[in-house]
Amino acid sequence: MTDRVNPVIFVDFPTTDPEAMSAFYADLFGWTYNRRPADEFHEVLPGQKPNLGIHKADAPMTGPVPRVYVMVEDPTDMLAQAVAKGATVVWEEKRWEEFDASYAAFRDPWGAEIVLWRDKGTFRLDT
C-alpha cells in the first residue's frame, strides 16, 4: 500500500454533438473550449483545473451516469437557465446540512448530470 494520492486530472463527456454540447456549457457557465479537432473532441476550459473534455460518441448517454459538481452563486437561477437551454431538472435546490450548503441538479440534453453547488455558509433558499 502506498500513501500516494491519485488526483482527478480530467473528466470527459460523451455526446453525439460536441459542438452543441460545448456551446451549451459556454453559454451557461461561460466556459471556453478548444476544438481538437472540431466535431470530434473539444477541450473545455472551466477556468480552473481539471479541464474537461467532450468527445464524439455514436449514441447518447443512458442509464446511471457520473455527476459533475460545479460551484455556482445561485443554484436556483443556474438551474432555470439550464432548463431554458433544454436541460431537465434532476432536483430543485435543497440544503445539505452536513456541509452547510445547498445544491440543485440537472441532466443536460446529452445525458450528463451536473450538480450546481453553493459553497457552505452562503445558503439562501427563499422558502
* 39 within a domain of the structure (yes/no): yes
Q: What is the CATH classification number for the domain harbouring 105?
A: 3.10.180.10
* 100 within a domain of the structure (yes/no): yes
Residue 99: give the domain boundaries: 65-127
What is the rounded end-to-end Cα distance, in angstroms, of the chain?
49
Q: Which amino acid is at 118?
A: R
Look up the pTM and report it: 0.87
Domain count, the chain: 2
* Residues 71 and 121 placed together within one structural domain of the fold: yes
* 2 within a domain of the structure (yes/no): no
* 4 within a domain of the structure (yes/no): no
Query: Alpha helix (H) ranges present in the chain?
Result: 18-29, 75-84
User: For each of the chain's 127 residues, which pLDDT tens digit applies?
Assistant: 678 888 888 999 999 999 999 999 999 999 999 999 989 999 999 988 889 999 999 988 888 898 999 999 999 999 999 999 999 999 999 999 998 899 999 999 999 999 999 987 665 555 4
